[in-house]
Amino acid sequence: MALPLIDLTRVRRPQIRPSLNLVQAGGRAARVIIVTFAAAAVGMAMIAVLHTQIAARQYQIDQLDRRIAVANEDFDSLRSIRAELRSPTRLDAEGRRLDMRPATSSRFLPIDPQVLAITIARTGMSPEVSQAPDNLGPLDQFRLVKRVGGMER
């Protein structure tokens, strides 16, 4: 089967060439994926830093809790030692060891008004309000005793 011959001289080629432009293919999808992964990486890094900060703060809280527990144990032991030292039986035994004997009678001595005024000025308490309130905890009662005794700084 033979093809007929075509006269090529009759076909005219255009004198002006069409302008060709370079088109970028699929760049937007790649940018969206890269930005998404970068945002996810930054978010995970921020969460890791936050988690580290929380762990450090929790460690400090645990240390404070341990110190509070030790201080409470020390306070309880010191309070029991104080109670033992102030017990009437011990005071009686120590007094007898120092050749002291119980009083046979008691009497009230008058207080000099100047001494009373100095005491009220130093403690900030009048004799009518010298009783400790019932709602104070053991540490507050101890602090009050030290203040009245003139031991507080």
* Domain residue ranges of the chain, discontinuous segments joined by +: 29-101
CA distances from 39 to 28, 29, 35, 42, 45 (A): 16, 15, 6, 5, 10
CA distances from 15 to 11, 12, 18, 75 (A): 12, 9, 10, 106
Residue with token string 């029991």: 80
pLDDT tens digits along 18-33: 788 877 766 788 889 9
pTM exceeds 0.95: no
pLDDT tens digits along 36-45: 999 999 999 9
Distance from C-alpha of 44 to C-alpha of 57, rounded to nearest angstrom: 20
**111-130 burial, b for 16+ CB within 10 Å, e for fewer?**
eeeeeeeebeeeeeeeeeee
pLDDT tens digits along 64-95: 999 999 999 999 999 999 999 989 899 999 99
Q: Is residue 152 within 8 Å of 146, Cβ to Cβ? A: yes
What's the whole-number mean pLDDT along residues 137-148? 73
- pLDDT of the residue at 1: 59
Distance from C-alpha of 148 to C-alpha of 127, rounded to nearest angstrom: 11
